[in-house]
Structure formats: C-alpha cells, structure tokens
Structure 1
Amino acid sequence: MHDKPTPLGCDPADLAWVESTVKQAGTSFAAGMRILPPMRRYGMYAIYAFCRVVDDIADGNTPLAERTKGLEDWHQRVAELYAERAFPPTEALDRVLLAAINFFSLQQADFDAVIDGMLMDTQTAIVAPDEKTLDLYCDRVASAVGRLSVRIFGDSSENGNAVAYHLGRALQITNILRDIPEDAARGRLYLPADLLERFDVPKDPVQALFAPGLEQVARVMAARAQDHFRTAFATMKLCQPRSMLAARIMGASYESILKALCKRGWGASVLRNRPHTSLIGKAKWFALSYIP
C-alpha cells in the first residue's frame, strides 16, 4: 500500500507550517489562495510565508544591524535554494519553497527583489520618496510577489507579467493609502514628494496627517491605483481565465478597500477610521471573479 502523494511532494508537517502561517496572518488574500488546486495553493502559501517572514524581520524592533543581517541571510538562503545543493534544506519553509521553485520555475530575481524591498524599509525610513524610488519600492515589495504568483497560478507569459506589474502596484498603493497613520507612527510617509509639494503637505509624517492638502494627494494616488486595477483586470482577459481566477479575487477584494477609502476620505477627523467592506460586497467580488 502506497502513501498518498502530497502537494509538491512535501512532508505534511512542512505543508502544515506554511498553511498555519497564512491562517494566523488573517490575510485578505486567503480567499484567493483557498480556491486554488492543492499544488498551486501550497505554492502560494509558501510565497506568502516567505513574504511574511522577511516583512517581520524588516518591521521588527531589533537593532538595525540585526534586521539587515536577517534580510541578507535570506539572500543567502535563497541563493542556496537555487544552487541545487545535494543536501536538503533544514527549515520547513525552505523545503516547501524549494519544491515550489522547482515545480513552477520561479525566478530567483523575484525573491531577491522582495528582500531588497524590505531592505529599503530598514536602511532608512522612507519619507516622501521621489516617484522613481516609490515605483521601485512598489515593484519590489508587490509586483515581484505578483511575478512569483502568476507563475504559480499557471501563466508565465508577458501578459501574466503585465498583470503582476499593474496589480502589484494597485495593491501596494492601496496599502499605502490605508496605512498612512500607522506608517506615520513609525516615521514613514510613502506619498511622493512632488504631490506633497503641489498640495502644500509637510513632508514630516506626523504633520502631514493634519494638512488639508492630504485629501488631494491621496485622491491623486487613489486614481493612480484605480488605473492600475483597470489595466490589470483588462489584461487578465488576455490570459487563460482559469489561471487568473485567484488574481481576480485578490484584486477585487483590494479594489473594494480602495473604494471604501475613497468614500471615507483622508481628512484628519476620519483618517484613523479603518474602512469596512460589507459581507455582501465580499460575496459580489467572489461572484464577479468567475467572469472570464
């Protein structure tokens, strides 16, 4: 009697570890991952767990040198996964990542980009970046994850990469617009310098929260995110519909957050009110996600 094959050929305990990381995080992406077939689902769990681990290092309370070393160590761990060493990795996450890398032909450059994005956050607090720096940051921490994801979803084409480009930027800009007060408390302000200057918003993260012009800055950025959502959804139609199902669900959930933010606004009196999306809305995103 043969044992039942496991997704990606991994030990069930290793698969349970990456799955528990996703569940404990309570991520809004979970619905998109759950509908995937087991092989792809656990591949995505591994990618999410990797992102979670390196993000926790970057946002930790340990000294800068320790956080930097932790991220540089991950560069080395990723390099070792691609070096095809004879001995297996010693950590559960590394073992599932290696299986996903081999099965889905994931690119080392995308893992390295994610780590480099985290390093951008650790070396110095990002405050009022120029447009080029902001776009690079969005590419590294979001679109690079998208490039890994679309391969797991089953589309490694140029259209798939275009979805990753636009959807990643849409999601990250939405994150930025949602988290302005929390980022300010950590000395960060991800809104671009040129927009802050145009609308007379101070570049000091805390002072910016009370500037009347913050509303205009945020709405310009929201329009930018919406353009990326629109292009991402249009490009998904050029891909195999089934391969983009999870991406449509993830994108629709975040687009709903963006719309809720726009409805709430960014005035000082409401800025700390977390926007809520209704259960009806969630059901609607799920239904619409099945439309090719």
Structure 2
Amino acid sequence: MGFLRARHDEAPVLGCDPADLAEVEQIVVRSGTSFGKGMRILPPDRRYGMYAVYAFCRLVDDVADDEGEPDDKCRRLEEWRARIARLYAGEARDGIDRVLLATIRRFDLRQQDFNDVIDGMEMDARGPIVAPDEATFDLYCDRVASAVGRLSVRVFGDSSAHADQVAYHLGRALQITNILRDVAEDARLGRLYLPRELLERFGIPPEPDAVVRAPRLEQVGRILAGRAHDHFRAASRAMRLCDRTAMRPARVMGATYAAILAAQERQGWGTPDKRVSLSRPRKVLVALRALVA
C-alpha cells in the first residue's frame, strides 16, 4: 500500500483516516492502470488527491460502460451528480466521499468540473456515440478529458488561468490520441468518435464497421493527428507560464501521449486492429526526458 503517514507524529495525509485513503487507492490499483505509479512523483497530499479524482472518474466511467439500459445508467449518473452536490454542502457518507471532500477543500476544486465529467459520461451512457458533428466531438473531448485536467492541475499545484489552458489543450490532445488508436476497439462496441464532417469529406460512411475497413481512414487519421499535435504544442506553451514543479505530471503525460501519437502515425491507420503501445523502457525514457526538460 502507498504512503499513508510519514511518521507517527505527523498528521494523516489530507487529514483522512488511513483506511479511507486505502479504499481510494485500491480503486486505482484494481484498475490495472499505470496511473498510480505515475503519481508517485507527487507529495502525499497531492498524490492521494489525484487518487481521489481518479477514483471518481473511474467509478462514473464504469457506470457509462456498464451493459445496463441507458435510462438506468443515466439515473445512476444523476445519483453521482447529487453525491457531488452533497460533498459541496459538506456531507460525506463513506470513505471515498471523505477523501474526495478533503481533496475538494484542500485544492479548491470546482463543482462544475466534476459535473462536466459526469455530463461526458452521460453522452456515452445514452447510447453509442456514432460520428458526432465537430461541435459535439469537441464538447465530448472537453467533458471527458479537459474537465479531468481542470481538476488535476489544481491538485498538481497550479490554479491559474494558464493552468486551465494546459487542461484545455492537453485534455483534447490526449483524448484525440486515444480515439485515434482505439478506432477498431470502439467499433466493436458500436462506437465511432471520428467527426462526421471529416468522414463525409473522404467519402467514408459514418458507420463503425465501415470506418475500420475504409482505405481513406488514413487521411482522417492524419488530419486528427495534426490537430492533436497543435494541442500538444499549445499545452506546452501554456505550461511555460505555469508553476514548473506543479506541471511535472502534465509534462510527463504530454510527452508520453505525444510518443504514442507519433508511433500511431508511423504505423498508420491501415491496420486499426493493431493497437499502438509503448514498451516499458520507452515509457520510462520519455518520462525522464520530460522531467528534466
């Protein structure tokens, strides 16, 4: 288990009971993601604050990805919206609530950012997203990625307008990268996140199965990759105006996903079933370079 108390005479992390902290950390551990390891560069309060934000995102994402009926999933997401409202009224009912409440208070997190994440999950919960228009595509990226970034930069240690710009651009860059490497996986779930206007421009039917087989998917991928690179560059410019120490996790995430996008571009989109990934040594090297840059 992670760092819960430094010494017996020090206050608990975030002022929380170690059992509550362990409950939140277990959600991160069970997810199997490398997120927990990546957050080890943060001091304990910020690390467990990020675990709390991740736990919230994981739990609402699980609702959206559940095989239940759309109405039931939307009802459960509304329960989460009410749960967040209770936290901002100072009411915590369980361990996860207590750590989230401590995180909200410690880092002055905004209720609207939590609600934006829930709104994004609701977009998926209402039924598979299939070839959204450009405005909906951008709104989805903002809700499921940039809103998470707006919560995260505050936990990292920078609540400035420049940090919000990092969240705006880096969130979109990361989400577009994910969409581009998950085209085939999303299609198997009946989902298609690529913008309708781009598909129509290249004569590709706006249908998940058709996109996977479309020879001109390559052109769509190249255009969206270019957009992602623009967002990576804009995020990097905004980072230079932020607290350098606070931006360390953002720099690592940006560098890692930029490397994934570059690998996807080298592979192209002719074999979308072959999902791009980085080897562990490559991830470590990319992270180290980002930390010393």
Q: If the TM-score is normalised by the length of the shorter chain, which range does it land in? A: over 0.9
Q: Is the 8 A contact 2:28 2:35 kept in 1?
A: no
Q: How many residues of Structure 1 are paired with residues of Structure 2 in the alignment?
A: 287
- Tell me the SS of whatever aligns to 1:148: helix
Shift of 1:40: 0.2
Residue 194 of structure 1 is matched in structure 2 by: 197
Aligned equivalents of 2:56, 2:194: Cα separation in 1: 26
| 1:163 maps onto 2:177 in alignment | no
Q: Which moved more, 1:1-10 or 1:73-82?
A: 1-10
1:73 aligned partner, one-letter code: E
Q: Is the 8 A contact 1:28 1:253 kept in 2?
A: no
Structure 2 alignment gaps of length 5 or more? 1-6
Q: Deviations over 1:10-31 (max 9, x none)?
A: 1111111111211222324334
Aligned equivalents of 1:80, 1:50: Cα separation in 2: 14
Q: How do 1:215-254 residues align onto structure 2 when only pairs under 5 Å count?
A: 215-254=218-257
| 1:8 maps onto 2:9 in alignment | no
Q: How do 1:122-141 residues align onto structure 2 when only pairs under 5 Å count?
A: 122-141=125-144
Aligned equivalents of 1:49, 1:284: Cα separation in 2: 27
Q: Deviations over 1:126-180 (max 9, x none)?
A: 1111111111111000000000000001101011000000000001101111111
1:258 to 261, 267, 283: 261
- TM-score, normalised relative to structure 1: 0.94
1:80 to 77, 86, 91: 86
1:32 aligned partner, one-letter code: G
- TM-score, normalised relative to structure 2: 0.94
2:43 to 25, 37, 45: 37
Q: How do 1:73-152 residues align onto structure 2 when only pairs under 5 Å count?
A: 73-85=79-91, 89-152=92-155
Q: Is the 8 A contact 2:158 2:243 kept in 1?
A: yes
Indicate the RMSD between aligned Cα atoms, in angstroms. 1.5
Aligned equivalents of 2:198, 2:34: Cα separation in 1: 29
Aligned equivalents of 2:206, 2:34: Cα separation in 1: 30
| 1:278 maps onto 2:279 in alignment | yes
Aligned equivalents of 1:28, 1:271: Cα separation in 2: 23
- How much identity, in percent, do the aligned residues show? 57
- Tell me the SS of whatever aligns to 1:115: helix
Structure 1 alignment gaps of length 5 or more? none
- Tell me the SS of whatever aligns to 2:273: coil
Shift of 1:90: 2.1
